[in-house]
């Protein structure tokens, strides 16, 4: 065999294959070419879209951090300290601050844009916020808001923030154009409704709440209620454990009734929800069997109660409801 095997080169043309192409004459790009100009415009549009996406992601991270802090705050509620009202008022103020300072910025970014293109940018922050907001409503004894109620809170009108500036700007335009509509017809100090009047199309902006994010946020709520159930047992308020458990049973029943699920995350939430429900039911079981000694003996984290833990498997999955 030849000792030079593997060192052979194939030469094509005068320059010789790849090396010939490297040393070929590279033509200069003609910036006046219409095709080149079109691609320059496409590049600018894509860069603007990516920058907008990253700004929304940063806002979503801030929402996630603040929502987690609110959840931790709500877990400090203790019947022995009688601090329910104080903690709920502080949590409400911080939730309203998220509406004013964070979601309004996302709404501004999504203005005149397709919100579905940026839905994945803030889905984590939205789910965490739904968890914090519904947990606040649960702790304060209110009914859990539905999707439409929260979507209305995420819809912003200029009259809520800068009515005066809108009236002044409309007044200036009216002075420049005497034949135009009155500024009081364009901007109302009470509300700004979307009508066919001049300037009404830009009077409202919204941060889209995807129904899937709302449902997944409710699924995360089960974990917080389970912790509240365990903490209630530790603080001696064993009667509330059964209320928490019944609520989680109704929530789990509602999730089971959902059919034609097109989300992988929904299946994961179902498993987590069932695990949280089993832990809450174990707490209620300990209270029923041991009575006042349940807190002293421990809950699901105790070794003695580990026998009652149910190991989930694929064969033990719920079949759900079929119609």
pLDDT score at 54:
95
pLDDT (tens place) for every residue of the chain, 323 residues total: 555 555 555 554 544 555 545 554 456 777 788 888 899 999 999 999 999 999 999 999 999 999 999 999 999 998 888 888 999 999 999 999 999 999 999 999 998 899 999 999 999 999 999 999 999 999 998 899 999 999 999 999 865 445 444 444 444 444 444 444 433 343 333 333 333 344 444 578 899 999 999 999 999 999 999 999 988 888 777 888 899 999 999 999 999 888 777 778 888 889 999 999 999 999 898 888 877 665 554 444 443 343 344 444 444 444 444 33
The structural domains of the chain, with segments of one domain joined by +, span 36-158+204-209, 212-308
Please list, residue by residue across 218-233, b when 16 or more beta carbons sit within 10 angstroms of its beta carbon and e when fewer do.
bbbbbbbbbbbbbbbb
Ordered alpha helix ranges (H), the chain = 17-22, 34-74, 84-98, 104-109, 123-139, 147-153, 163-176, 183-186, 211-234, 239-256, 264-290, 294-297
Do the domains 212-308 and 36-158+204-209 match in fold? yes
Main-chain dihedrals φ then ψ at residue 235, nearest 5 degrees? -85, 0
Domain 36-158+204-209 has CATH 3.40.50.2000: no
CA distance 70 to 280: 22
Q: How far is CA 25 from CA 20, 28, 246, in A?
A: 10, 9, 77
Annotated binding site for Mg(2+): 131, 224
Q: Residue 121, CB half-sphere, CA atoms under 13 Å: how many?
A: 23
pLDDT score at 8:
52
pLDDT score at 259:
78
- Residue 303 CB contacts under 8 Å (≥ 6 apart), including other chains: none
pLDDT score at 176:
42
CA distance 6 to 261: 57
pLDDT score at 247:
93
Fold of 212-308: Methane Monooxygenase Hydroxylase; Chain G, domain 1 (1.20.58)
What is this structure's pTM? 0.71
């Amino acid at each position: 065999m030849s000792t030079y095997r593997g060192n052979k080169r194939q030469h094509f043309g005068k320059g010789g294959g790849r090396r010939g192409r490297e040393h070929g004459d590279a033509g200069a790009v003609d910036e006046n070419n219409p095709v080149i100009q079109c691609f320059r415009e496409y590049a600018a549009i894509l860069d603007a879209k990516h920058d907008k996406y990253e700004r929304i992601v940063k806002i979503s991270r801030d929402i996630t951090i603040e929502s987690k802090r609110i959840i931790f705050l709500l877990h400090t509620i203790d019947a022995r300290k009688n601090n329910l009202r104080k903690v709920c008022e502080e949590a409400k103020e911080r939730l309203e601050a998220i509406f004013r300072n964070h979601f309004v910025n996302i709404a501004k970014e999504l203005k005149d844009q397709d919100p579905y293109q940026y839905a994945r940018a803030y889905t984590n922050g939205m789910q965490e916020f739904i968890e914090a907001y519904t947990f606040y409503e649960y702790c304060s004894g209110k009914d859990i808001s539905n999707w439409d109620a929260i979507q209305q809170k995420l819809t912003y009108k200029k009259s809520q923030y800068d009515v005066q500036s809108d009236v002044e700007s409309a007044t200036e335009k009216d002075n420049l154009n005497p034949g135009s509509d009155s500024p009081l017809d364009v901007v109302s100090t009470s509300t700004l409704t979307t009508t066919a009047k001049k300037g009404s199309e830009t009077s409202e902006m919204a941060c889209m709440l995807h129904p899937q994010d709302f449902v997944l946020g409710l699924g995360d709520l089960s974990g917080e209620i389970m912790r509240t159930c365990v903490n209630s047992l530790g603080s001696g308020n064993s009667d509330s454990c059964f209320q928490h458990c019944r609520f989680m049973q109704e929530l789990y029943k509602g999730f089971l009734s959902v059919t034609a699920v097109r989300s992988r995350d929904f299946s994961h939430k179902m498993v987590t929800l069932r695990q949280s429900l089993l832990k809450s039911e174990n707490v209620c079981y300990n209270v029923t069997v041991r009575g006042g000694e349940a807190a002293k003996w421990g809950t699901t984290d105790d070794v003695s109660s580990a026998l009652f833990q149910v190991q989930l498997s694929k064969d033990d999955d719920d079949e759900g409801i079929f119609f």
